[in-house]
Amino acid sequence: DAKTTQPNSMESNEEEPVHLPCNHSTISGTDYIHWYRQLPSQGPEYVIHGLTSNVNNRMASLAIAEDRKSSTLILHRATLRDAAVYYCIRFNSNSGYALNFGKGTSLLVTP
Amino acid sequence: NAGVTQTPKFRVLKTGQSMTLLCAQDMNHEYMYWYRQDPGMGLRLIHYSVGEGTTAKGEVPDGYNVSRLKKQNFLLGLESAAPSQTSVYFCASSPLGGAGGIDTQYFGPGTRLTVL
């Protein structure tokens, strides 16, 4: 089962940090955690991925729990442009080629 | 560098008509994919290609055909459109094909297809 669990929706104020949680309690040792986001009327966009250690890039940070059963995507200062559906995806070389997007978390950012 | 482009952006078909969706990428990626996205559901893989001249079935291939005659292009065909094929279609490409779980897929803007 390659499923992850995310809240259906979250809300944040502009310029505040946002922590988007993801539960993946059945994760295997070779599963990477990938995050994509989909802005309204656009295709999905890669955000970040990691295996065990916390990861940072220009878009976001990814914090992975020590037992790897959960992770958190952190947007340090939300902007209106960050309003999107965020998908947490487990992915490894045995996953085949399809990314299992699930339903994701719809993030609303208010001014 | 345009990334992944799709044409057309919108299309309305009548049941039984045929059409071809074109996907093009300028990143020299080996792997290309076609997904569909329906309301309330995630993206589902229709077909994919691991290189020029190759194609393979994904999760929901019925009613669709694909071709990859050139590395940069991946075509999705509907031979006889049905209302159940009303959806948003996304093309994607990637350099590594999921190798080791570290691959990244790059998506196009989508084609919104309505079949009446």
The verdict on a CB contact (< 8 Å) between B59 and A45 is no
Q: pLDDT tens digit string along A54-64?
A: 999 999 999 99
Q: CB-CB: which of B40, B59, B106 is closest to A98?
A: B59
pLDDT band at A2 (very low <50, low <70, confident <90, very high): low
For residue B1, the distance in angstroms to the closest alpha carbon of chain A comes to: 16
- In chain B, residues with a C-beta closer than 8 Å to the C-beta of A89 are none
Alpha-carbon distance of B74 to B55, in angstroms, equals 9
Which residues 50-109 in chain B show a CB within 8 A of chain A?
50, 58-59, 90, 92, 97-109
Residue with tokens 């995806």: A89
A106 and B CB contact within 8 Å: no
**Average pLDDT, integer, range A7-35:** 94
For residue A29, what pLDDT is reported? 85
Q: Around Cβ A84, how many Cβ atoms within 10 Å?
A: 21
Q: Contact A45/A109 with Cβ under 8 angstroms? A: no
For residue B104, the distance in angstroms to the closest alpha carbon of chain A comes to: 7
Q: CB-CB: which of A43, A87, A103 is closest to B110?
A: A43
- In chain B, residues with a C-beta closer than 8 Å to the C-beta of A32 are 101-102
Size of interface A-B (CB pairs under 8 A): 65
Q: What is the 3-state secondary structure (H, E, C) of B25-77?
A: ECCCCCEEEEEEECCCCCEEEEEEECCCCCCEECCCCCCEEEECCCCCEEEEE
From residue B72, give the alpha-carbon distance in Å to each of B5, B26, B67, B75, B97: 10, 6, 11, 10, 15
Q: Contact B59/B46 with Cβ under 8 angstroms? A: yes
Structure-block tokens of residue A49: 């991925």
**Average pLDDT, integer, range B85-111:** 90
How much of chain B is helix, strand and coil, in % rounded to 5?
5, 50, 45
Q: Around Cβ B14, how many Cβ atoms within 10 Å?
A: 9
For residue A101, the distance in angstroms to the closest alpha carbon of chain B comes to: 5
Q: pLDDT tens digit string along A76-98?
A: 999 999 999 999 999 877 767 77
**Average pLDDT, integer, range B70-89:** 97
Is pLDDT of B54 > 80?
yes
For residue B33, the distance in angstroms to the closest alpha carbon of chain A comes to: 8
For residue B96, what pLDDT is reported? 83
